Structure 1
């Protein structure tokens, strides 16, 4: 049996232009008319190609001449990117402080502040490149592939390696890799809405053009590449403007936090300047420009220290490392924001076949109807199949043939492939007696309609047919209907049913149980009958409340205006049967209407809208190019466990980011309020400008390693709760302020106690150094406190990279204080006292954290109980 519509890898595909004789030129509306046979041949000659495509050497030469088949977007040079880190509100503040220090000849401050400026730019540039390179490396695994004929043999290459003159083959579900002139094949339906705005797929035939970026919906054809890369229709018309893309919820939240800290710092700085002016005017000392410069410099440095300069870098490196961790678990992230979305997913809509089941169908005993025999039923189904198909159903049928030569004498002259709407395949076959017969196989309901059988019919055979389908479904067995037509498809005769069993994956039940523990609602989505889905769902512990998608989504339902009762029906269902592609999109929209964060799996072309609409679209293993392009997460291994592992990893990443946010807000509150209150209460400046700058450096250097920290992932979906974040951080910030202000009071009391002064002399300069050391040490100990919800004395303990980075930073801080580098030298006894003080406060802060979390937990429990009570009234 041969199948002309899909050549095997060893075939030599002759380019056989159609014998139709349409004229070349332009049609009305500017659309190109299809070329006739002579036109196709002439075009092949113009492209310097052959019926066997190009040789490997010719392709290599053209690739060197024409460049890769990619859209060459204009990218900023590395130098321009680096310079951009010196432009903006935050760099401007640091740069003004540098200029003021220069004109005041304050060289220590000048060099240290300039060093901070260079450090922040270097770290930002390095981390940005690191994240971009990591994502680019991951995306290489998503490179589109293409089937190309080189030297007469079909091979699979990256689409980027295609060149003009190559002969390629395009099948349903694939993205057309370059501009083509279609030269061979019966039929190709192409969705080119992204290029032309046409709402319906366009039928293509030999002599037509197909454009790069459009999607093959049905059929299979081959063609000669006429243009690649920027020379394609898409490349010439697309606006190649580099864009950073939309920000994720996490990035938006962190930016809002940054704005909050800057506004808070600015308000306190104004209070500080106002108090200083009032003091000088009241004392009658007058106003001097040198003093104005000193105040301006100090305020700018104070603002710089309060700005979360490390936030973008922490976000980038944490997300990038998370993406790398997910890739090791066979999940490739196509955009970094998907990680944060995954952490909040609370509803997972999963395909059945291949994800919850093994997708290893085995044919059971055939059930013939009429005069058909079991063996003839299998042969009929095989004749409605392409012999080189890799589809699981087709493979099961071909393996079940009664003998290796069962199809000898049959020649398949045409083939209509399966599509998600018609749900059947049709083979047009010339038999041993030269009679042409049509064979069809497909979903039982589709074959029944083909044969004129109705579910409401009372005919004995009709009743038996649907009764047998229901019986098989009740045991989780899938049925495939088979029909035959001897009059060119005008009338069809039912041949029978082929039962097929696709057992659940061995790990599926355990994975679903784990999903429920993680607070996920898993809903099965299947094109099979509800009864089949319900049986598999029962075996996996998902629940048996499956509903037909057509029962809740009326024809013509507007996805943007889904009724509330429909949305609640979707929410309450355990799964959906007889799902068509448009239903997946409507299911996602309905769940999102009720505030759920939805992950949807898919593998086909028609799944792309749903994958794009979902908060986290997941292309499962073996998905089409169109599905992979639309998805945020692409799985390279089968099964649901990979998704669940990815969700756990995403929640861990979320915890790392939030622990940094808690720490950063708390430390800003501590430093800013300490400086302002100390000056207003005692007229004392607890930190010099250079101390604040060095503190900013010491804080930022080790914080990058938080991306490697050990965390306990939340057992439930997580979302950004700004009220909780600000309030908890404020509580910890005020507690940290009490620690710092307490040391200031102890220092002032020490200086006024002769007995203590005779033991270790202390002056205001040394007190500044003590506070500097307390903030450096206490800040990182505060990070250890807020990084977990439980006590810091129990797992998870800090990771080795974070622990080593903090330890190294503290050693540097102690050496600066002992040897008087950039700060007044502090006696070693005072260093020991400060460290004992901060360690005691670490325990106190841990207790405050536990108490605060307990109060929050109690409030959340009461709120949840109240909500439940209201819903059940």
Structure 2
């Protein structure tokens, strides 16, 4: 804790003379000991290792086993199709992962390339990688800090640390300070300078106390470097589903062998039947379809300014119930803005939009003095310089008092720069008759050096009553978390020196400024809260400022809902977890605190989203269930650590993304349940035929055709179903909720049973047309082929029709709109055409052991196929009637 030690102690501990710095020999020795001053990253995984990692899944294992068996029995086409599905799934996974981890590379780029150091008594410019602990670094405005420094000398030094602390305003540094409290937050360590922050004003010198991975930035890099491979809820559900289906397939195969053994069936026929059931039990296209649905959802989200880096993050958004948001640049505009100004007995709010306003005479003098007593520039909506001064110059632009015109008219001829002890800055400008001093700074210091006050255009003595009035207004503004600046002037006949400027001034008034909230954020937060999502602010800024913004946005209602980083340090991990739900604002926090907060929420069973833009947000972005980075103001580090990037930096986009995530999850659920219903129907048909010693109604190739060709298009179409308009009126899904909760399992079983029964009915009808029954022996091959063709067509077409009923668990097709999902209508039409082709084209019919059907048979097949859809719609209608009755 270098901030707790005096300069002398630090110099003695690092054995350095600040006047001469390290010798070349000593620097070389320390470089060998501590290594180069650059951040290290973990070795990247090879494409081969990424590829094999994609294959470690129960569903994939069963599919590969099915492929091996199909090769053994000579069904090579089946094996190729299964392997193509596995390959597609693996390639998609590799493509996504290989694009991901860019955070460490971005951190490495942030380190300063060149640095001024004192060595052997001379100031030299060296590569920042050569810096070692003990080096004396020269700091001036415009230079990045190359390592963590304990400051030795400071002259009005200010360092912009927003990327590390989240504060909008540069931090004033003072080498004389010593912070004895071991829990002093980074933002309050005024005697320290940190790697990759930027000096914006003044100058200083510091001694290097930490380099590379030992710096504060380095600690962040280490957190980012840790392997945090938490699976999303969807991944967990699909893994569970894969295991279940795998065990079911193995169990069914074993059961078939047992039944066939007692039935004394042919060994080769047993193999064929077993593989038929294994194929029927597993939705081969499931991994690919889920990946495709997610990819289509990602594409749709990118058009709404949300770029998703990792596909499963789409679904995770849908189950988020806590949004931890950084304040600066995310909830606020990341620029200081004057929102109130005061001249005696006249408090006014600054209009949020528009320019060309005409100020009152006293207001004109106030704004003119502030603009002339500043070094910032502001043109075309862009400013340079200190954020506070930029805000003052921007105020002038609103009231037709542009910096350019004022500085051209009233040329500066002298100045007394800002000093952190005086907390004042003064300039001397030429006016029509003589010169005028303009002084701005802390209002209490302005009042101390003032003798008069400007009241309604007249200069009057500054009485105690007037002083109290200014201080009262300043206190009211301060209570609303505004940063206060006062301004005064005096006219002189001749040029005067800096020592004479700040005496006997005339107070004009004061302004209050803040980093204001984004205009659209308040409505977005209200929408999120209605959807059962709790917004939380996490910031490096001061408590009062943070709570004021949080109250205005509707995040918090009282100061009791806030806690600081120092207060977090006093709590044990268990205590923080226990009390975490009481807080809505976390102020003056470090990167470590942010991670603690995220983990505490997760320990309570929450799905946590963390938004942010700075380097300081990266560890918490990485640890959150989903990290959301800002695309415009966000650092490369934050983007690299995140799962999703907002291209418009708009908090509202997060709410839209959550809505999209919920709908995508629902769509995936529809696709999965649809596929399971279809596969269950196949299992029912095949297993019943084995159990009752009937001929097998479907061959493995026929089942594969339906699973991979006919089913796939409706499943994908369900995956891009238009969103449910009521989805944001519901609470977030419980992350522990089963994939089959809410009657989903019942719907899958009902659909499967109905499809299985009509398939067997069609098979029976196909045999019965030629005078055979299901239990008949020695059925001719052509009759069997006809019966299987009927079963094949009815199975496929019933599934196509049934997809219409899968669009909503309770609403009817009429309520949703038959043509509201044109992709699904198209998929059904294409499915019909494919079924017609595979039964009518001789080379396809022969390949799949099928034959052409008559128009009458097609008509009966369609009637059979409509039954599951009609029955399911009746069940839904009954459910709606019962629900309406219970509400009444």
Distance 1:334 1:300, change over 3 A: same
Q: Which string of whole-angstrom CA distances, capped at 9 and with x for unpartnered residues, describes residues 74-104 of structure 1?
A: 44346x766787887656655655565556x
Residues 37-73 of structure 1 deviation map (CA, whole Å, 9 limit, x = unaligned): 787999999xxxxxxxxxxxxxxxxxxxxxx999584
1:346 to 318, 321, 325: 321
- Higher mean displacement: 630-639 or 549-558: 549-558
Check whether the contact 1:34–1:209 (CA below 8 A) recurs between aligned residues: no
TM normalised by structure 1 equals 0.65
Name the residue aligned to 1:828. 854
Q: Which residue number in structure 2 is paired with residue 812 of structure 1?
A: 834
Give, in angstroms, the shift of residue 691 of structure 1.
2.2
Give the structure 2 partner of residue 303 of structure 1.
278
Whole-Å separation in 2 of the counterparts to 1:92 and 1:74? 26
Pair 1:710-2:675 in alignment: no
Instruction: Verify: 1:322 aligned to 2:297, yes or no.
Output: yes
**Distance in 2 of aligned mates of 1:613 and 1:171:** 36
Contact 1:666 1:729 in 2 (8 A): no
Q: Does 1:397 align with 2:397?
A: no
CA contact (8 A) 2:104 2:225 kept: no
What is the Cα deviation at residue 299 of structure 1? Answer: 1.9
Instruction: Answer whether contact 2:306 2:653 (CA < 8 A) is retained.
Output: yes
Distance 1:240 1:588, change over 3 A: closer
| Aligned 8 A contact 1:652 1:712 in 2 | yes
Q: Give the equivalent residue in structure 1 for 2:46.
A: 76
Change (3 A) 1:259 1:816: same
Following the alignment from structure 1 to structure 2, what is the Cα–Cα distance between the partners of residues 383 and 43?
47
- What residue in structure 2 maps to residue 410 of structure 1? 415
Separation in 2, partners of 1:663, 1:531: 52
> Does the C-alpha gap of structure 1 residues 802 and 142 become closer, same or farther in structure 2, counting only changes over 3 Å?
farther
Equivalent positions of 1:363-402 (< 5 A) are 364-366=340-342, 389=384, 393-400=388-395
SS at match of 1:649: helix
Corresponding residue for 1:123?
Answer: 88
- CA offsets per residue over residues 753-786 of structure 1, 9 Å max, x none? 77999xxx99333222222222222233333322
Task: Give the counterpart of 2:753 among 737, 745, 764.
Answer: 737
Kept in 1, the 8 Å contact 2:344–2:470? The answer is: no
The aligned counterpart of 2:178 is: none
Residue 824 of structure 1 aligns to a residue whose secondary structure is coil
Mapped contact 2:531–2:732 kept (Cα < 8 A): no
Per the alignment, in what secondary structure is the counterpart of residue 732 of structure 1? helix
- Cα distance between partner residues in 2 of 1:188 and 1:503: 22
Deviation at 1:590, TM superposition (A): 6.6
| Distance in 1 of aligned mates of 2:667 and 2:228 | 24
Instruction: Map 1:502-517 to 2 at 5 A.
Output: 505-508=518-521, 510-517=523-530
2:141–2:199 contact (8 Å) kept in structure 1: yes
- Does residue 846 (structure 1) correspond to residue 854 (structure 2)? The answer is no
How far apart are the structure 1 equivalents of 2:712 and 2:663?
22
Q: 1:657 to 1:857 in 2, by over 3 A?
A: farther
Matches within 5 A, 1:758-797: 763-789=783-809, 790-793=811-814, 794-795=816-817, 797=819
Give, in angstroms, the shift of residue 644 of structure 1.
Answer: 1.8
> Are the equivalent residues in 1 in contact too, given 2:718–2:807 (CA < 8 A)?
no
Aligned to 2:473: 468
**1:340 and 1:650 in contact (8 A); partners too:** yes
CA offset at residue 249 of structure 1? 1.3
Cα offset, 1:827, TM superposition: 1.7
Partner SS state of residue 848, structure 2: coil
Please give the alpha-carbon distance, in whole angstroms, between the structure 2 residues aligned to 1:586 and 1:501: 28
Partner of 1:8: none
- Given that 1:662 and 1:725 are in contact with CA atoms closer than 8 Å, whether structure 2 keeps it comes out as no
Between 804-813 and 384-393, the greater mean CA deviation after superposition: 384-393
Residues 726/173 of structure 1: CA separation in 2 closer, same or farther (3 Å cut)? farther
Q: 1:473 to 1:747 in 2, by over 3 A?
A: same
Task: Kindly state the Cα deviation for residue 741 of structure 1 after the two structures are TM-superposed.
Answer: 1.7
1:663 deviates by: 1.5
User: 2 CA distance for matches of 1:222 and 1:785?
Assistant: 73
- Answer yes or no: is the 8 Å Cα contact 2:308–2:645 preserved in 1: yes
Match among 287, 291, 315 for residue 312 of structure 1? 287
Deviation, 1:270, is 2.3
2:414–2:428 contact (8 Å) kept in structure 1: yes
The question of whether the paired residues in 2 share the 8 Å contact of 1:74 and 1:242 is answered with no
Change (3 A) 1:732 1:602: closer
What pairs with 1:409-488 in structure 2 (closer than 5 Å)? 409-410=414-415, 412=417, 467-469=472-474, 471-472=476-477, 478-481=482-485
- 8 Å contact kept, 1:135–1:336: no
Alignment of 1:251 onto 2:251: no
The alignment partner of 2:587 has SS state of: coil
Distance 1:217 1:472, change over 3 A: same
Residue among 697, 704, 723 paired with 1:686 = 697
Q: Calculate the aligned-residue CA RMSD, in Å.
A: 6.4
How far apart are 1:317 and its partner, in Å? 3.3
Q: What is the DSSP-based 3-state SS (H/G/I as helix, E as strand, rest coil) of the residue aligned with 1:480? A: strand
Cα offset, 1:251, TM superposition? 0.7
User: Do the aligned partners of 1:667 and 1:779 also contact (CA within 8 Å) in 2?
Assistant: yes
Give the distance between the partners of 1:169 and 1:84, measured in 2 at CA. Answer: 49
Q: Cα distance, 1:680 vs. partner?
A: 1.1
Residue 252 of structure 1, CA deviation: 0.9
Q: Secondary structure at the match of 1:410?
A: strand
Aligned residues of 1:611 and 1:627 also touching (Cα < 8 A)? yes
Paired with 2:81 and 2:90, the residues of 1 have a C-alpha distance of 14
Shift of 1:662: 1.3
Distance between the aligned counterparts of 1:513 and 1:239, measured in 2?
A: 33
Report the CA distance between 1:677 and its aligned residue.
2.0
Deviation at 1:175, TM superposition (A): 10
CA distance in 1, matches of 2:17, 2:849: 81
User: Structure 1, residues 685-729: CA drift from partner, whole Å, max 9, x if none?
Assistant: 222222233333225643455554433262224425316448523
* Native 8 Å contact 1:349 1:598 kept in 2: yes
Change beyond 3 A, Cα 1:801–1:164: farther
Distance 1:604 1:664, change over 3 A: same
Equivalent in 561, 564, 567 of residue 574 of structure 2:
561
How far apart in 1 are the matches of 2:205 and 2:717? 52
Cα offset, 1:649, TM superposition: 1.7
What is the CA–CA distance in structure 1 between the aligned matches of 2:67 and 2:724, rounded to whole Å?
42
Please state if 1:837 is matched with 2:864: yes
Which is worse superposed, 507-516 or 68-77?
68-77
Query: 1:648 pairs with 659, 668, 672, which one?
Result: 659
Distance 2:599 2:712 in 1: 44
Tell me the distance in 2 between the aligned counterparts of 1:179 and 1:255: 45
- What are the residue-to-residue correspondences of 1:747-758 with 2, within 5 Å? 747-748=763-764, 751-752=767-768
Give per-residue Cα distances to partners, 1:331-378, cap 9 Å, x unaligned: 333544432232123344556676566657235434699xxx996899
Note the C-alpha offset of 1:396: 1.4
Which residue is 2:679 aligned to? 668
Contact map agreement 1:728 1:852 (CA 8 A) in 2: no
Encode CA deviations 1:730-756: one digit per residue, 9 max, x unaligned: 433333323322342454366457799
Indicate the larger mover: 83-92 or 643-652: 83-92
Residues 840 and 170 (structure 1 numbering): CA distance in 2 closer, same or farther, change over 3 Å? Answer: farther
Partner Cα separation in structure 2 for residue 322 and residue 589 of structure 1: 28
Trace 1:289-300 onto structure 2 (pairs within 5 A): 291-300=266-275
Segments of structure 2 that go 5 or more residues without pairing to the other structure are 1-6, 29-37, 115-126, 132-136, 166-181, 346-361, 378-382, 430-436, 448-463, 489-497, 500-506, 774-780
Aligned pairs for 1:150-299 within 5 A: 245-280=229-264, 291-299=266-274
Q: Distance in 1 between matches of 2:588 and 2:513?
A: 21
Secondary structure of the residue that 1:763 maps to in structure 2? helix
Distance 2:613 2:68 in 1: 58
